[in-house]
Structure 1
Amino acid sequence: MAAGARRWATPETVRDKVRRRWDDGTLLRTLAEDQPVAPIEVPLAGPRASEIGDRLGEIQDWIGALEAGSRGGARYELRYKTIGGRAVGRNQIPTHAVVSRLAQAWDLLGVRAQVVAFEQMMLSAPDQRVREWVLARPVPALGHHAEWSQLLTAYRWLDAARGSGKYLRQIDAPGVDTKFVEARRSVLADLLGVSRQAGPFLTDLGLRTKPEHVRIRLAASIAPIPVSELSVRVGELDDLDVRFTTAVVVENEITYLTLPVPADGVVIWGKGFDVARLGRWAALQEAEVHYWGDLDTHGFAILHRLRTHLPHTRSFLMDSETLHAHRDRWGRENSPTNATLDLLTAGEAAVYDDLVSDRFGEQVRLEQERVNWAWTLDRLPYDWS
């Protein structure tokens, strides 16, 4: 074809247009719902009447290729129009390729094996929820055909176990185990209509999750427990028969281990677990609570969450003075938040705003373990002697 000439359509042009209807699931949904096919008409860019005299041989080859690609109508049908005139005679030129039957689409795309697999998946779907999932994304669903039987086995067990309080490790369905479910959690979550995230996936199903523990260091005066540290399941905190006047919550483990314990009080390692659950501990409702987190946006977000349950919580070492006294120890916060935190005090909110707005540098953070220890001991808000 001459440089700059208009490109003529080919059998691949037709295939590409029909492929889009395959990729978006339209063709397979039409099959599953036993609906009539909406004909796919593909306009065929071809020669102009003015080109017939000079390119008659090329045109004949072009028509031959389109007709061969149709396989006698098994893949698509051709529509023609007559062009030409006295000089070159009248000629029949294809203008459209039309796919009006699913069988034509299957042959054109070479997807008969996938169609059979799709029909098997639909026939084996145990309920309407699974059928709707397959219909919503038929082509991606086909990617799970090889393990479909195992997925359905896991699905049935998990669906039947809703609200049972079992651990996932107790799954006893044939051919599947904990590792299988964990590796395919996203697919199973979509089938079951629950969260894809590991913890919420289990809790949404009413299954038991790995217990969270909280570590607590106790003052020697707290009786009747003759130990200096406890590790307690969060759900059992209210069963712990201890009373204290002061509680200090910190995020860093080494800080937790090093910080002096308040007289007649406790130090609690907040670590990464949900401080809102810690905030429901009845003993903390009656205590003076102090919180020390990293001087970054997420540190203030954690403080905000803790105050939703313990509004009397006071922060310490999360102030402008501490931040600027340690400028040489600043780091960079990954993925800072800019959430609205309306439970901060005016002073805390001012520092938070400085961090969110990058007033003193981009994504500034001061981790609590970088705060000078002498500075820390001089500013503890409780008696620990």
Structure 2
Amino acid sequence: MTPATAPRPAAWTTPAAITARVAKRWDNGALLRGRASGEPFEPIAVPLRGPKAADLAEHLEEARGWVATLDRASKDGRAFRIHTKSVGGRHLGRTELPARAMIETFDQAIYLLGKAPQVQRFDEVLAASSHVPQVWDWVVAHPLTALGLAEQWPTILAALEWLERNRDSARYLREIDEPGVDTKFVERHRSVLASLLGVRPGEAAFAADLGLAHKPTFVRLRFDPQVLGFPAGITEASLRTTELAALRPRIKQALIIENEVTYLSAPVPAGGMVIWGKGFDASTPASLTWLAEVAARGDVLYWGDLDTHGFAILNRVRSHLPGVRSVLMDRETLLRHEARWGSEPSPTSAYLPHLDEDEAALYEDLVTGRYAPALRLEQERLDWAYALRRLPPHSQLSVKDQCT
């Protein structure tokens, strides 16, 4: 039987391959995590692929060079220890060849990887965190992330202390006064601070979970003054959502409109209001609880673009206001305005569970391009006389407003 061909020297295990095996433990955080938690070091055994006894005659000089290279890389055992095996041949006698590289201690692993400076910085982060148990636990659980933040860690701890001290204070982040900490720093490291504090990382959610103030949202609306109890000369306002939610307006009907100019043009319903939905911000006014009561009666209308995103916004509004009805977003309106069709830049095909049967059918036609690819009929392109006939009856105030 012909003996198996010896592996070429290029296929023999190199010091770089040994380092790569150990680097996996560094990259997944196991080395630092074990050091921080005081766990015994788990030895790493790396099998070494090298020449067989029968191949030494063919690759003797290469084999000697390979052994010498491994010896140098071991740094007299400071990086790893070499275990050998005895191999024999009819012509060369028995020879000891490296069989396994053993990394038996944490210090060996760190020396091999050249990570001593990083370990020192990690130890400093641990020491700085030792007085706060949840921070210590977080560092142990996320050692590489903590190491990457070593230079900023004292400032992160200062920000953390201020945030903990000011929970439920209703203060703005702008009021933070810890040395070296400002709003921009907190925003830049919000995800880490949120994880340390056990709150959600989103900008608004972060503030809400900590009981801090957040930039308010506003709702812009036009109205019959009497429904909000305003003086007769005031017909439009932009109010904080929270403050508007606290009001109990005497409202008969409401119209939410996506486009600003259309919002300004539409007549105010008698005893009601027109609300600017601001496109994808339409869920802000839709979250008003008193508006839900009006919607439950079927007296809240939504008017958006006749395109896939228009229906997506309607779907979002209806998730807050199940009773809201759409207006001028139907097949008849679409087909009557064919000469005014346009193209939607980036249509959506998302699942919209809150559309009614007719809306869903038209949405499907838009998604599949039944009438035209990426079809769009913007609401400001609708014939105005046609639109007025479909909108709810307006107040005398609205008529005057339209004529001035």
TM-score, with length taken from structure 1: 0.89
**Equivalent residue, structure 1, for 2:185:** 180
- 1:106 maps to a residue whose letter is I
**Residue segments in structure 1 that go unaligned for 5+ positions in a row:** none
* Equivalent residues of 2:9, 2:51 under 8 A apart: no
Which residue type is aligned with residue 229 of structure 1? E
String of CA shifts for 1:72-116, please: whole Å, max 9, x gaps.
000000011111323122211101100010000111000011111
**Equivalent residue for 1:232, pick from 230, 239, 244:** 239
Counterparts of 2:135 and 2:347, CA distance in 1: 39
For residues 347-368 of structure 1, what are the alpha-carbon distances to aligned partners after superposition, in whole Å with 9 as ceiling and x for unaligned? 2232234345555566655443
Shift of 1:213: 1.1
Aligned counterparts of 1:196 and 1:35: Cα–Cα separation in 2: 31
Contact 1:52/1:84 (<8 A) preserved: no
Q: Identify the residue that residue 280 of structure 1 maps to in structure 2.
A: 288
Q: How does 1:76-87 map to 2 (within 5 A)?
A: 76-87=80-91
Structure 1 counterpart SS, 2:184: helix
CA-based RMSD of the aligned residues comes to: 2.7
Residue matched to 2:325: 314
Q: Is the 8 A contact 1:251 1:292 kept in 2?
A: yes
For the Cα contact (< 8 Å) 1:8–1:45, is it kept in 2?
yes
- Residues 112/324 of structure 1: CA separation in 2 closer, same or farther (3 Å cut): farther
Once the 2 structures are TM-superposed, how far is the Cα of residue 197 of structure 1 from its aligned partner?
A: 1.6
Question: Is residue 237–residue 281 contact of structure 1 (8 Å, CA) maintained in 2?
Answer: no
Residue aligning to 1:206: 211
Structure 1 CA distance, aligned partners of 2:391 and 2:268?
11
Match in the other structure for 2:154? 149
The equivalences for 1:1-385 within 5 A come to: 7-125=11-129, 126-219=131-224, 224-225=230-231, 226-238=233-245, 240=247, 242-271=249-278, 272-273=280-281, 275=283, 278-282=286-290, 285-286=293-294, 288-307=299-318, 310-326=321-337, 328-333=341-346, 335-341=348-354, 344-355=355-366, 359-360=370-371, 364-383=375-394, 385=399
Q: CA deviation at 1:163?
A: 2.0
Q: Distance in 2 between matches of 1:13 and 1:121?
A: 31
CA–CA distance in 1 between the matches of 2:272 and 2:266?
12
Aligned residues: 382
- The answer to whether the Cα contact below 8 Å between 2:258 and 2:305 also exists between their aligned partners in 1 is yes
The 1:95/1:259 distance shift into structure 2, 3 A limit, reads same
Kindly indicate whether the alpha-carbon contact (under 8 Å) linking 1:42 and 1:96 is maintained by their aligned counterparts in 2.
yes
- With 50-59 and 306-315 compared, the bigger mean Cα shift is at 306-315
121 and 362 in structure 1: CA distance in 2 versus 1, 3 angstrom threshold:
farther
Letter in 2 for 1:13: A
Distance in 1 separating the partners of 2:393 and 2:361: 24
Letter matched to residue 82 of structure 2: L
Q: Kindly provide the CA deviation profile for residues 5-56 of structure 1, in whole angstroms up to 9, marking residues without a partner as x.
A: 6511111111111000110111111111112111101111111222211221
| Aligned 8 A contact 1:167 1:209 in 2 | yes
Counterpart CA distance in 2 for 1:231 and 1:293 is: 20
Residues 7, 50 of structure 2: 8 Å contact kept = no
What is the alpha-carbon distance in structure 1 between the residues aligned to residue 347 and residue 381 of structure 2? 17
Contact 1:298/1:337 (<8 A) preserved: no
One-letter identity of the residue aligned with 2:73: G
Q: Cα gap change, 1:80/1:339 in structure 2, threshold over 3 Å: closer, same or farther?
A: farther
2:319 and 2:89 map into 1 onto residues whose CA distance is 85
Quickly say closer, same or farther: Cα 1:60–1:274, change in 2 above 3 A: same
Question: % of aligned pairs identical?
Answer: 43
Per the alignment, do residues 246 and 4 of structure 1 end up closer, same or farther by CA in structure 2, a change over 3 Å counting?
same
Please report how far the alpha carbon of residue 269 of structure 1 lies from its aligned counterpart in structure 2 after TM superposition.
0.7
3-state SS, counterpart of residue 332 of structure 1: coil
- When the two structures are superposed, what TM-score results if normalisation uses the length of structure 2? 0.85
AA matched with 2:290 = A
Following superposition, the deviation at residue 212 of structure 1 comes to: 1.1
Q: CA deviation at 1:319?
A: 1.1
